[in-house]
Amino acid sequence: MAVFSLFRPIQRWLAGHAGPATPQSPQDGSSQEVLQRLVAIEQQLGALPQAEGLDATLAALEKQLGRVGREQLKANALVQTQADRWAEALEALQSADQRRDADIVRLREQAQRGQAQTRLELIQAILPAIDGLDEAVRAGETLLAQPVVPAAPSFWERLRGDHPVPPEPLRETMGAWIAGIRLVRQRLLDVLAADGIQPISAQGQRFDPYQHSAIGVVPSDSGCPPGTVASELRRGYQQGERIVRLAEVVVAKQMHA
């Protein structure tokens, strides 16, 4: 476009300076030459098939420049967004880090509580075994309290001259045997005591709903006033203030005839 915009004025200027048409004057001749050359160039340029094409190409180039500019804008926006996201991610990681520190502290405490809980569960699992030993001792004592009727020797025994074992040594042996079971029970109670777990004293105590669970009632009497524990069905245990297992008891009650 710039070429043609200059071309016409030069042509007009040359044409205007042509002066009287004296072909001999060298200036005239040279300007005529230039003019002719310009016309020839113009003709040649006009003949060029790419003439309009160049227009179009230039138009296209302008459009491309515009597009590139917009892409650059988009790219910048994208980079900005990414930078923002990185910043957010960094913040998130930092706060996650802080939370992790807090979690570690919490988990440590939880682990300690968990260990204590495990010990308690193990102890609770052993309690039925201690109950069994309690029952064994109780049954043995009941057995020993039975009145003994010495058995008369049978006819054949008398004939053979056998001497049946008198009941007294057997009872002594049994008494000793039960004493041994009591010692075994004590071993287990000592293990519990090491963890601070004590049997709940119930027998003869005033009934306390926080420590005892009433399974049955019996009429009260002089030996066992109303509201006291007459007997213990199952031993209870406590660890300080905490009840590990309630004592199951029979309570004496004022019964109306």
Partner 1 sequence: MIIGIDLGTTFSAIAMVRDGLPVLIAHADERIMPSVVGLTAQGALVVGTPARNQYVFAPEQTIRSIKRQMGQETRVALGEQTYTPADISALILRELKRRIEAHVGQPVDRVVITVPAYFSDAARQATREAGELAGFVVERIINEPTAAALAYGLDQRAEQQLVAVYDLGGGTFDVSIIELDAGVIEVRASHGNTQLGGDDFDQRLAEYLAVGFEADHGVDPRSDIRAWARLLRAAEHAKIALSSQPFVQVREEYLVSQAGAPLHLDREISRAEFEGLIADLVEGTLESFDAALNDAGLNVEALDRIIFVGGSTRIPLVWQMVADHTGIEPETEINPDEAVALGAAIQAAIIAGEPLDTILVDVTPHSLGMEIANWEFGHLVPDCYSVIIPRNTTIPTTRSEVYSAITPDQTAIAIKIYQGEHPVASQNMLLGEFLIDHLRPEVAGQPPRVTVQFDFDINGILHVAAVDRGSGKECRISVKAAHAQLTPADIAHNRAALDALELEGGDDASAGAGPVNLEAQGLLARARRALINSQSDQTALAEAIATLEVALRHGDHDAIETNVESLIDLIYDLEDE
List residues binding partner 1 (CB under 8 A): 132, 135-136, 138-139, 142-143, 146, 207, 209-210, 212-217, 226-227, 233-234, 242-243, 246, 248, 250-251, 253
Q: Between vectors from CA 71 to CA 65 and to CA 73, what angle results, nearest 5°? A: 105
CB of 212 to partner 1, least distance (A): 6
CB of 58 to partner 1, least distance (A): 29
CB of residue 121 to partner 1, shortest distance in Å: 11
Residue 198 β-bridge partners: 238
Burial of residue 35 (number of CB atoms within 10 Å: 0-12, 13-18, 19+): middle
Choose between 36 and 95: whose C-beta lies nearer to partner 1. Answer: 95
Nearer to partner 1, 192 or 246 (CB): 246
Cβ-proximal residues to 248 (8 Å cutoff; 6+ apart), any chain: 212, 213, 215, 232, 233, 234, 236
Cβ closer to partner 1: 12 or 106?
Answer: 106
Give the shortest CB-207-to-partner 1 separation in angstroms: 6
Compute the distance between CA of residue 58 and CA of residue 169 in angstroms, rounded to an integer: 129
- Of the candidates 232, 228, 236, the one whose C-alpha atom is nearest the C-alpha of residue 205 is 228
User: Residue 184 or 217: which CB sits closer to partner 1?
Assistant: 217
Q: Rounded to whole angstroms, how far apart are CA atoms 85 and 92?
A: 10
In whole angstroms, how close is the CB of 193 to partner 1 at the nearest point? 21
106's CB contacts (< 8 A; 6+ apart) are none
Structure tokens of 185? 């029970």
Task: Give the integer Cα–Cα distance in Å for 121 and 138.
Answer: 26
Residue among 11 and 213 whose Cβ is closer to partner 1? 213
Identify which of residues 11 and 220 has a Cβ nearer to partner 1 in the complex.
Answer: 220
Q: How far is the CB of 134 from partner 1 (least distance, A)?
A: 9
